[in-house]
């Protein structure tokens, strides 16, 4: 085993420039959600060039590369779509340039999270070169639409592609720490109806804005008393949108809704979160609903799911986490930090919905995700490519 890890490390170093260049090529292709076609063709090309046994693009547009044909299934996931550039004034370099300079690859998506993808392509190349012979199938997944609806791509992979791995590594940025969970989330709409009348005589009507406003102040208080988990932190709720309508600016409002961004900690579920809000708004005749996401993928397929993204965590002593710790020690001769993400990932369906043991390990610092001047250290890419290959040997 010692020799294997030594070889993995040598090859990851040998392919340092290869990995950085592959990432640069991905970054140069703008890849917003539902517009990933061109970047996916490039990723497919890279996997084929690396010698993967098979590379397919599924109905939703996910690129799935395979190495091996064994009975155990490991999947390594990275979403290929990125958020937009934002205000160009805030960037000190070209966000779509993919420039490799001073030990970094620069640009939108280097951290969140095409860096993880470039690293796992190299891991696949390493496994092929070492004639990987474990009784295992490894899937390398470049997934779509994550920035728009985290987890949707994996709902498709499990339910339509019928791939259900035994273990998954998410390659979202972790700063090369090992992550084992994050809070869940959901999007809730609370709607209030009123009765309009002439604004000169408001006593004849029933103002929807007043009801929604009373509810809004109750939701502010609700945020203070939500559950706390020592590992994942506190559940939270905030109002992200307040909209109202009325027949005229000289009329009592007859419609209002609140949009709630609810973050769920351990033990909080869709049912519990909906019930809490219902209890606050029933007297105000508010209607509570969990919103539904539906969009057309770049392949033309319309697909969706409820906007409930379950909380997930797995115990530190779980074999999936322990294997990660061991692989890290074997490669880098030190103990990794085991922690959690602040943001949400495809883990919401992979583990939260389907219960598949999942860990996170990825290059780059998550504070640069969705931020200007996003860049990833090439040394992180090298270490991540070694980690993914090493993990496949150990699990
Ligand atoms: Zn991401």
CATH number of the domain residue 56 falls in:
3.40.630.10
**Distance (Å) from CA 20 to ligand 1 centroid:** 19
- Burial label for 247, CB within 10 Å (0-12, 13-18, 19+), is middle
Alpha-carbon span 21 to 9, nearest angstrom: 19
Alpha-carbon distance 88 to 184, whole Å? Answer: 31
Give distance in angstroms: CA of 61 to centre of ligand 1.
17
In DSSP notation, 226-256 reads --EETTTEE-EEEEEEEEEE-SSTTB---EE
pTM: predicted TM-score of the whole model, two decimal places = 0.94
Q: What angle do CA 81, 292, 164 make, to 5 degrees?
A: 60
Report yes or no on 380 lying in a domain.
Answer: yes
Q: In terms of domains, do 120 and 224 share one?
A: no
Per-residue pLDDT of the chain (395 residues; tens, 9 = 90+): 889 999 999 999 999 999 999 999 999 999 999 999 999 999 999 999 999 999 999 999 999 999 999 999 999 999 999 999 999 999 999 999 999 999 999 999 999 999 999 999 999 999 999 999 999 999 999 999 999 999 999 999 999 999 999 999 999 999 999 999 999 999 999 999 999 999 999 999 999 999 999 999 999 999 999 999 999 999 999 999 999 999 999 999 999 999 999 999 999 999 999 999 999 999 999 999 999 999 999 999 999 999 999 999 999 999 999 999 999 999 999 999 999 999 999 999 999 999 999 999 999 999 999 999 999 999 999 999 999 999 999 99
Residues labelled catalytic? 81, 146
d(CA 240, CA 258): 8
d(CA 139, CA 136): 10
CATH number assigned to the domain comprising residue 235: 3.30.70.360
Q: Tell me if 304 is assigned to some domain.
A: no
pLDDT digits (tens, 9 = 90+) for 209-246: 999 999 999 999 999 999 999 999 999 999 999 999 99
Domain boundary among 265, 296, 327: 296
Number of domains in the chain: 2
Our separate counts of H helices and E strands in the chain read 10, 22
**Measured distance CA(368)–CA(375) in Å, rounded:** 8
Whether residue 303 is contained in a domain is answered as no
Computed on alpha carbons and rounded to an integer, the radius of gyration of the chain in Å comes to 23
How far away, in angstroms, is 146 Cα from ligand 1 center?
Answer: 7
Q: Are residues 67 and 111 in the same domain?
A: yes
Q: How far is the CA of 80 from the centre of ligand 1 (A)?
A: 9
Helix axes 2-14, 319-332, angle to 10 degrees: 70
Q: Residue 362: CB partners within 8 Å, gap ≥ 6? A: 78, 113, 115, 116, 119, 170, 171, 172, 173, 174, 176, 384
Helix residue ranges per DSSP H, the chain: 2-14, 16-27, 37-49, 115-129, 152-159, 208-224, 270-281, 319-332, 347-350, 378-394
Q: Are residues 161 and 195 in the same domain?
A: no
Quote the domain boundaries for residue 278: 184-296
The CA 113 to ligand 1 mean position distance, Å, reads 5
Examine the domain organization and report whether 221 and 137 are in the same domain: no
Q: Find the 84 Cα to ligand 1 centroid distance in Å.
A: 12
Residues 63, 13 share a domain: yes
Distance between CA atoms of 318 and 357, rounded to whole angstroms? 8
Whether residues 343 and 317 share a domain: the answer is yes
Nearest to 350 by CA among 97, 76, 59: 76
Q: Which residues, in sequence order, are CB contacts of 181 under 8 Å at separation 6+?
A: 231, 232, 311, 312, 313, 314, 340, 341, 347, 351
Residue 306: inside a domain, yes or no? Answer: no
Asked if residue 87 is part of any domain, the answer here is: yes
Regarding whether 336 and 194 lie in a shared domain, the answer is no
Check if the beta carbon of residue 32 is closer than 8 Å to that of residue 40.
no
Cβ 158 vs Cβ 347: under 8 Å: no
Element containing residue 305 per DSSP (H, E): strand 302-306
Q: Residues 33, 20: one domain?
A: yes
Nearest to 280 by CA among 202, 226, 207: 226
pLDDT at 1: 81
In a domain, 364, yes or no: yes
Does 302 fall in a domain? no
- Residue 393 CA, ligand 1 centroid: distance in Å: 26
Residue that is last in its domain, among 296, 324, 358: 296
Do 173 and 52 have their domain in common? yes
For residue 34, the CA-to-ligand 1 centroid distance in Å is 15
Q: Is the same domain home to 75 and 116?
A: yes
Are 292 and 365 in the same domain?
Answer: no
Is the domain of 213 the same as that of 149? no
The Å distance, Cα 158 to ligand 1 centre, comes to 20
Domain-embedded: residue 305: no
């Amino acid at each position: 085993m010692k020799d294997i890890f030594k070889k993995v490390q040598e090859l990851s170093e040998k392919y340092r420039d290869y990995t950085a260049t592959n990432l640069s090529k991905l970054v140069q292709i703008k890849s917003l959600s539902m517009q990933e076609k061109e970047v996916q063709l490039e990723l497919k090309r890279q996997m084929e060039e690396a010698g993967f046994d098979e590379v397919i693009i599924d109905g939703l547009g996910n690129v799935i590369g395979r190495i091996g044909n064994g009975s155990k299934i490991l999947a390594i996931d990275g979403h290929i779509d990125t958020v937009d550039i934002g205000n160009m004034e805030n960037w000190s370099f070209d966000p779509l340039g993919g420039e490799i300079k001073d030990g970094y690859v620069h640009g939108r998506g280097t951290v969140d999270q095409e860096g993880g993808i470039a690293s796992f392509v190299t891991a696949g190349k390493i496994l092929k070169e070492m004639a990987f012979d474990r009784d295992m199938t490894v899937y390398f997944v470049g997934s779509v639409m994550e920035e728009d609806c985290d987890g949707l791509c994996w709902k498709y992979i499990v339910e339509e592609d019928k791939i259900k791995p035994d273990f998954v590594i998410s390659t979202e940025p972790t700063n090369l720490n090992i992550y084992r969970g994050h809070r869940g989330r959901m999007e809730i709409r609370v709607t209030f109806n009123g009765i309009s009348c002439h604004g000169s005589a408001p006593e004849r009507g029933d103002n929807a804005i007043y009801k929604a406003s009373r509810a809004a102040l109750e939701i502010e208080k609700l945020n203070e008393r939500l559950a706390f988990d020592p590992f994942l932190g506190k559940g939270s709720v905030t109002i992200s949108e307040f909209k109202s309508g009325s027949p005229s600016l000289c009329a009592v409002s007859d419609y209002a809704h609140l949009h709630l961004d609810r973050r769920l900690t351990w033990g909080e579920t869709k049912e519990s979160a909906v019930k809490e809000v219902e209890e606050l708004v029933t007297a105000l005749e508010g209607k509570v609903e969990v919103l539904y996401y539906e969009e057309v993928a770049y392949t033309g397929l319309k697909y969706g799911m409820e906007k409930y993204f379950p909380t997930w965590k797995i115990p530190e002593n779980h074999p999936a986490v322990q294997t990660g710790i061991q692989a890290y020690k074997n490669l880098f001769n030190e103990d990794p930090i085991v922690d959690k993400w602040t943001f949400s990932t495809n883990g919401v369906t992979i583990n939260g919905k389907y219960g598949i043991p999942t860990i996170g390990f990825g290059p780059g610092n998550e504070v640069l995700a969705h931020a200007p001047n996003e860049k990833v250290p090439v040394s992180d890419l090298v270490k991540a490519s070694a980690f993914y290959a090493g993990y496949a040997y150990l699990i």
